[in-house]
């Protein structure tokens, strides 16, 4: 079983983009992938994949009701399958009020049972849902979580359930600061949850051509503190197109989605993108990252190659071994 929470403390480090791309890469390795979206904010994985129609309906069954053991239906009916074959438990507005709903449950439970508030296992609820009540390991090979941004109940439930972290980081003036911050964050989670948290890898994302960015990437790639198997270049055009294609960077390239200025504003269309080599390199980098997580962190066996079928433009083959060259910027 491959399980990972995609998280780094600072906001906007391309977590949702990375979760979506890893989910699709792993699914194209013939693995059955389930992704949980725990982020109630707009611009989340649910809107990226265009699922979760009922996310604002307070009466609709949703993940929070299942975590808190008051479901309105089967867990299986929460799951939606994206056209790329990834299963998703979409976000719901109730995730924003998770802590207050949890507090109510704890008040009730401590009232009727012989447990104190302190003893109540508030961070173990998602673990119990996934592995004890639903046994998702029987149906899936991979579970990924795109958590909410704040370090609170939901994030801790995600970490307690999945135990492994993939940390995308973004170049900023303070590369070494975020290195220290990561170690501290993992340490804090371990103390708070009383479990071992494995840091699978750190992935610098959005690395441009400036010296500052290159130095930042080098600092991460040369540290012994954790693995940095790849870094991902600055790829705004490719990654932004994912939100129009409602799918991964693999979909953007194979279906050749392009966003451009039309007569009535911006339009997005299939079959229009000219795919530059650097974008194919980025896909290969994502393929290798998924391979690293599957093999190095979880000892799975995965295919070496992925053949892309590009609309009206033949095929391209991505290799797991890669050529080892750092990516060039947009």
Ligand X SMILES: Nc1ncnc2c1ncn2[C@@H]1O[C@H](COP(=O)(O)OP(=O)(O)OP(=O)(O)O)[C@@H](O)[C@H]1O
Q: How many Cβ atoms from other residues are within 10 Å of residue 141's Cβ?
A: 19
With CB under 5 to 8 Å by kind, the binding choice for 17 among ligand X, Mg ion, none is ligand X
Quick note: the x/- pattern for ligand X over 182-211, rule CB under 6 A, is -----------------------xx-----
Select the residue interacting with ligand X from 17, 46, 47, 285 (CB under 6 A): 17
Any contact of residue 11 with ligand X (CB under 6 A)? Answer: yes
Quick note: the x/- pattern for Mg ion over 1-30, rule CB under 5 A, is --------------xx--------------
Any contact of residue 280 with ligand X (CB under 6 A)? Answer: no
Q: How far is the CB of 285 from ligand X (least distance, A)?
A: 10
Pick the closer one to ligand X by CB: 21 or 62: 21
Residues with Cβ within 8 Å of 323's Cβ and at least 6 positions away in sequence, in order, are none
- Residue 88 CA to residue 174 CA, distance in Å, equals 35
Any contact of residue 43 with ligand X (CB under 6 A)? Answer: yes
> How many residues of this chain interact with ligand X, rule: CB under 6 A?
18
Any contact of residue 46 with Mg ion (CB under 5 A)? Answer: no
- Residue 247 CA to residue 242 CA, distance in Å, equals 5
Contact 203, 230 (CB under 8 A): yes
Listed ranges 8-16, 72-80, 89-97, 255-263: which one lies at the site for ligand X (CB under 6 A): 8-16
- Residue 33 CA to residue 85 CA, distance in Å, equals 8
Listed ranges 12-20, 133-141, 151-159, 223-231: which one lies at the site for ligand X (CB under 6 A): 12-20
Pick the closer one to Mg ion by CB: 16 or 297: 16
Any contact of residue 276 with ligand X (CB under 6 A)? Answer: no
Pick the closer one to Mg ion by CB: 149 or 199: 149
Pick the closer one to ligand X by CB: 124 or 269: 269
Select the residue interacting with ligand X from 68, 149, 151, 310 (CB under 6 A): 149
Sign of CA dihedral 148, 150, 151, 152: negative
* Helices assigned H by DSSP within the chain: 15-27, 45-48, 63-67, 98-112, 125-127, 153-162, 175-193, 211-222, 236-245, 249-254, 277-292
Select the residue interacting with ligand X from 190, 236, 305, 309 (CB under 6 A): 236
Pick the closer one to Mg ion by CB: 92 or 258: 92
For the chain, what's the residue count? Answer: 330
Residues with Cβ within 8 Å of 330's Cβ and at least 6 positions away in sequence, in order, are 208, 233, 234, 235, 236, 237, 278
C-alpha of 41 from chain center: 15
- Residue 237 CA to residue 276 CA, distance in Å, equals 11
> How many residues of this chain interact with Mg ion, rule: CB under 5 A?
2
Q: How many Cβ atoms from other residues are within 10 Å of residue 101's Cβ?
A: 18
- Residue 247 CA to residue 243 CA, distance in Å, equals 7
- Give residues in contact with Mg ion (CB under 5 A): 15-16
- Give residues in contact with ligand X (CB under 6 A): 11-17, 39, 43, 149, 205-206, 232, 234-236, 239-240
């Amino acid at each position: 079983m491959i399980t990972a929470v995609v998280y780094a403390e600072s906001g906007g480090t391309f977590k949702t983009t990375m979760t979506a791309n890893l989910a699709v890469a792993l699914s194209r390795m013939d693995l059955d992938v389930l992704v949980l979206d725990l982020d109630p904010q707009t611009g989340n994985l649910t809107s990226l994949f265009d699922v979760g129609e009922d996310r604002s309906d307070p009466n609709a069954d949703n993940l929070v009701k299942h975590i808190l053991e008051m479901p309105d239906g089967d867990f299986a009916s929460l799951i939606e399958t994206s056209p790329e074959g990834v299963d998703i438990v979409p976000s719901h507005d109730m995730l924003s009020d998770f802590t207050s709903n949890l507090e109510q449950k704890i008040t009730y439970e401590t009232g009727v049972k012989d447990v104190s508030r302190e003893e109540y296992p508030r961070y173990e609820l998602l673990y119990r849902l996934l592995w004890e009540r639903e046994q998702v390991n029987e149906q899936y090979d991979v579970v990924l979580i795109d958590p909410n941004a704040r370090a609170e109940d939901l994030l801790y439930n995600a970490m307690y359930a999945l135990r492994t972290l993939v940390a995308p980081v973004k170049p900023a003036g303070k590369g070494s600061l975020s290195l220290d911050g990561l170690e501290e964050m993992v340490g804090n989670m371990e103390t708070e949850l009383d479990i071992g948290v494995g840091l699978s890898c750190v992935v610098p994302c959005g690395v441009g051509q400036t010296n500052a960015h290159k130095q930042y990437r080098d600092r991460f790639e040369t540290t012994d503190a954790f693995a940095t198997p790849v870094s991902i270049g600055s790829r705004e055009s490719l990654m932004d197109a994912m939100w129009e294609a409602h799918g991964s960077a693999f979909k953007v390239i194979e279906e050749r989605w392009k966003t451009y200025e039309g007569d009535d504003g911006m339009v997005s269309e299939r079959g229009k993108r000219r795919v530059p080599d650097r974008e194919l390199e980025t896909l290969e980098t994502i393929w290798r990252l998924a391979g690293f997580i599957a093999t190095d962190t979880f000892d799975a066996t995965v295919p070496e190659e992925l053949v892309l079928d590009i609309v009206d433009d033949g095929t391209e083959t991505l290799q797991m071994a890669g050529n080892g060259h750092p990516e060039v910027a947009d």
